[in-house]
Amino acid sequence: METHTAGTLLEVTELRTGYLGVEVLHGIELVVRPGETVCVLGANGAGKTTLLHAIMCRQPAWSGNIRLRGVELGGAPPFAPAHLGLSYVPEGRGVLASLTVRENLELGAYPPRARARLNDNLERVLALFPPLKPRLGEPAANLSGGQQQMLVIGRALMAAPELILLDEPSLGLSPAVTGQVYSALAQLKSSGQAILLVEQNVSMALKLGDRAYVMEQGRIVVSGGRERVLADPRLRNAYLGL
Amino acid sequence: MMLLKALAVWVLALALGFFAGSGYLVQMATATAILALWGQSWNLFSGLSGNISLGHSAFVATAVYITLVLFVRWGVPPLWGGFCGVGAAVALAALIGAATLRLHGPYFSLATLAAAAVVLALILHYPDLTGGASGVALAFTHNAALSLEFTDGRVYYAIAVTLLFATTLLVRWVRQSRLGYYIAAIKSSEQTAAAAGVHVARVKVAAFCLSAGLTAVGSVVYVFYLGFADPNYLAGLTLSIEIALVAFLGGADFLLGPLVGAIFFELIDTGANALVGASGGWDMMVLGFAVVAAVMIEPRGLCAMAVRGWEALRCAFGYGGKTLAPV
Amino acid sequence: MVFLLQSLINGLLIGGVYALVAMGLNLMFGVMKLVNFAHGEFLMAGMYAAVLLAGLGVPAGFWGLYWVALPGAFLMGGLGCAVYLLLLRRAAAFGEAAQILLTVGLSLGMQGAAQVLAGSDFRLVPNPINGAALRLGGVTVQIGPLVAFAVALAVTAAMAWLLGRSWFGRAARAVAEDIALAQALGVDARRVFLMTAALAAGLAGLAGALIIPYHYTFPNVGQSFVIVAFLAIVIAGLGNVLGAVLGGLLLGMVQSVTASYLDLDLSTAAIYVLFLAVLLLRPQGLFTRRARTV
């Protein structure tokens, strides 16, 4: 047993996984420290969502380790990460459409560790996303796309997570709404929330992120601080596939 | 070539029956052949498309009772009355299919299950016409082909085997026809099939009607062979389940699956009857838990089990050609 | 007029029992996407459990029989857990066709087992509730069915609270809509399934316990209730648990009225025609607003 590096929140080492016998991630190394915002960038099909699925135990790791504060997540059932303090914002509107807005938010506090502070967290989320407040009693299906994205982020925050994982929060949103979502994320960041952000929208993501990893075909090809990654020509290559 | 082989098997099956005499063995073989025919008909729609019918006994009972009522009350020869019976069964299938087969979900299974219950209730409600719960008995005194009356059981055996072969060949042909490809496409994804231009609902209803019709043909022959119609059996849930089990047990993906399933079923059934007798609920219990066991052990049926065993053997001796895909 | 009213009341009261059976069916379908064709056999087994317990001795007093009948419902909850853990949990991966055959086989096997163990006699535990009735004007209200109906209404209210307000309810509805998402939120879907199976079987067992004073017990008693319940959940809307209650009550009344004016055998046919009509005209169900998406 190795001990985890002091001061890391999430530590992914040598992670390999894939679908139907075909390897998609070829040994990913990734670290998130408390309070940090880390971006994972890359083109479609680079393996970003697969990485998040592996961290959330939706997708079993073939080898390697995923540790949250030193606790191994590999092989845990898919409901375990939420209980350990990971919140997940899936790609493209993950609202429960048949439930009300309030019920969606309450379900975010499902892990026992979050239930005690349900009301405090609800107030916090509504302060962060005021448009949700008048619509608490409505079915989530009635919300606009931007409001749904707010709801899903708010639901993730209801668990008072150690780390929040976001998969393409700007996907399919208008620039104005994307701006709203990102300003909320910036507020979260300044309150000390650790964020792992998967994005194709590089400029938005890197305005927010402290550090970034660039993925290409299941491998991390660049990693480092924001400026370093922005300056790296391989970032452009990763997107243009050159 | 395939046709030639099938012909040879058919002639062989007829000859075996002919020389076996009119005894118990031929009776059992006739019952097995009819059961396999029903299973084959069930498989043609439910097995191939994945829409499970739990009410094929509704078609059995409809065809049988229409034929019998026409024959017993009005003297219509069963050969002609049989067409009416089969036609009525097909019409019933068309009605159920039109209402349920354009929907996703378990509507179809529920509708077929309830249809059999309704047919039974109607038979019991008109005892003057149908004989009610005591059923209809047929007494044969002479041979009359038009009335499907034969004193020698081997004739029924020959008819049953011939029908089974015809149905099997038909199913084989359907599988390779345009209809078969449509059904296979629908099974894997209705949306994709529809997007590719398949009239999903129409194909499903057509295949279901064909399945009901073939089932009905076998039923009419079977009831004249039995010489007795018991409504609680012919329109009962047990028979529906037997029909589905036979196809499923043998393997819905295999052409000969229903035949294998029927033989296996008759052996188990005969064995259970010999051990504990047919009454007292044992037969129902054995049948029910046999279905449970079959699904839990190998949901793809006996043939799949055999293929798997054969592959394992080949691999063990170094002839393994195919590797099993990881699941 | 009194005849019609009497027949409607009889139907409403029996409809309460259908509602209990249908609620469990729809709960299981909504959460687990599984039609449990063996659902009626939990009602049957609950009745036999009560008959068995009554054989050991019935507490004195007018309501005595209920004291031995109700534990049967809890036993059925346990049986539901066992069926989930032994069969349904693994069968989830087999696909819809195999699941249907599995529960149908279980249904037949349980009916056969009941006949083997208890014989095919019709049994009725002698009790004072059977036949006792209130007379209101020209209308007679039987006590046994009235109690069953009242309990069914109370259980409906409890289910509405459970599904709408409790953590289990929110988790169950989340699993029903999107199992992967629910798990990401920390919901253990298998535990939700286990509780759903127990609850559904318990509701069927409860229905059995409530009809014990006035209904015969026999091996396929579950079938006559569950077939109506199957049709009720489709008419109400698949997966709509509270709608199933309305469906049960409606079919109880339709059945009773057709039975009074025509014949009991024909009432099955009448309900079936209604069922086909609903599927043709309003496939999402009478009491469900939005069409079910696949």
Task: Look up tokens 């080492």; give the residue.
Answer: A13
> From the CA of A129, how many Å to the nearest CA of chain C?
20
Q: Beta A71-72 vs A63-68: how paired, if at all? A: antiparallel
Measured between beta carbons, the chain C residues lying within 8 angstroms of A107 are: 170-171, 174, 182, 185, 187
What are the tens digits of pLDDT across the range B122-178?
898 888 888 888 888 776 665 666 666 776 777 888 888 889 988 998 988 888 888
Select from C31, C185, C188, C294 the residue whose CB has the most chain A CBs within 10 Å, as the one to mutate to test that interface: C185
Measured between beta carbons, the chain C residues lying within 8 angstroms of A103 are: 170, 173
For chain C, what is the mean pLDDT? 90
pLDDT score for B141: 60
What are the tens digits of pLDDT across the range B213-223?
999 999 998 88
Task: Look up tokens 């063995």; give the residue.
Answer: B25
Query: What sections of C121-188 are H helices per DSSP?
Result: 143-165, 167-177, 179-184
d(CA B257, CA B246): 8
Joined together, the tokens standing for residue A52 give: 């998040």
Counting Cβ atoms within 10 Å, is residue B315 exposed (0-12), middle (13-18) or buried (19+)? middle
Query: What sections of A137-222 are H helices per DSSP?
Result: 145-157, 175-190, 202-208
Measured between beta carbons, the chain A residues lying within 8 angstroms of B326 are: 20-21
d(CA B207, CA C146): 47
Give the chain B residue whose CA is nearest to the CA of C87: B296
Has residue B197 got a pLDDT over 90? no
Query: For residues C92 and C46, which has the higher predicted lDDT (pLDDT)?
Result: C46
* Contact assessment for residue B130 and residue B65, using Cβ atoms and an 8 Å cutoff: yes
End-to-end CA, chain C: 45
- CA distances, C8 to each of A176, C130, C154, C164, C224 (Å): 60, 20, 21, 31, 19
pLDDT score for A1: 39
User: DSSP for A65-79?
Assistant: EEEETTEE-TT--TT
Measured between beta carbons, the chain C residues lying within 8 angstroms of B104 are: 292, 294
Which candidate, A121, A134, A89, A106, places its Cα nearest to that of C173? Answer: A106
> From the CA of A95, how many Å to the nearest CA of chain C?
9
Q: Which amino acid is at C174?
A: A
Which chains share 3+ C-beta pairs under 8 angstroms with B? Answer: A, C
- CA distances, B323 to each of A89, B49, B126, B311 (Å): 39, 27, 59, 9
Measured between beta carbons, the chain C residues lying within 8 angstroms of A90 are: 181, 184
Coil, helix or strand for C260? helix
d(CA B102, CA B105): 10
Cα-based angle B217, B222, B228 (whole degrees, multiple of 5)? 130
CB contact under 8 A, C188 and A81: no
What are the tens digits of pLDDT across the range B159-175?
888 899 889 989 888 88
Total count of residues recorded for chain A: 242
Joined together, the tokens standing for residue B92 give: 């019933």
Phi, psi angle pair for A30, to nearest 5°: -155, 140
Of the candidates C101, C120, C269, which has its C-beta nearest B248's C-beta?
A: C101
Interface of C with B in 67-106 (CB under 8 A): 87, 90-91, 94-98, 100-102, 104-106
Domain C2-281 falls in which CATH fold? Answer: ABC transporter involved in vitamin B12 uptake, BtuC (1.10.3470)
d(CA C29, CA B102): 19
Tens digit of pLDDT per residue, chain A (242 long)? Answer: 344 556 789 999 999 999 988 999 999 999 999 999 999 998 888 899 999 999 999 999 999 999 999 899 988 999 999 999 999 999 877 899 989 999 999 999 999 988 988 999 999 999 999 999 999 999 999 998 889 999 999 999 999 999 999 999 888 888 888 998 999 999 999 999 999 999 888 888 888 999 999 998 999 998 999 888 888 888 877 776 54
Joined together, the tokens standing for residue A223 give: 């990693």
pLDDT score for B318: 67
Query: What sections of chain B are H helices per DSSP?
Result: 2-19, 24-42, 48-49, 56-74, 78-100, 107-125, 127-130, 153-176, 178-188, 190-195, 200-226, 231-234, 237-250, 257-276, 282-297, 302-316
Measured between beta carbons, the chain A residues lying within 8 angstroms of C183 are: 58, 77-79, 82
Q: Which amino acid is at B45?
A: F
A interface with B, Cβ–Cβ < 8 A, is 20-21
d(CA A59, CA A77): 10
d(CA A206, CA C121): 77
Q: Which amino acid is at A205?
A: A
- The answer for residues whose C-beta is within 8 angstroms of residue B94's C-beta and 6 or more apart is B205, B208, B209
* Contact assessment for residue B59 and residue B93, using Cβ atoms and an 8 Å cutoff: yes
> From the CA of A88, how many Å to the nearest CA of chain C?
7
d(CA B168, CA B4): 14
The ipTM estimated for the assembled molecules is 0.89
Task: Look up tokens 């030193």; give the residue.
Answer: A70
Per-position b or e across C128-155, b if 16+ CB within 10 A of its CB: ebbeeeeeeeebeebbbbbbbbebbeeb
Domain boundaries, given as residue ranges, for chain C: 2-281
> From the CA of A44, how many Å to the nearest CA of chain C?
22
Measured between beta carbons, the chain A residues lying within 8 angstroms of C284 are: none
- The answer for residues whose C-beta is within 8 angstroms of residue A217's C-beta and 6 or more apart is A45, A46, A47
Which domains, ranges and CATH numbers included, belong to chain A? 1-85+162-242 (3.40.50.300), 92-161 (no CATH)
Counting Cα atoms < 13 Å in the Cβ hemisphere of C195 gives: 14
d(CA A125, CA C186): 19
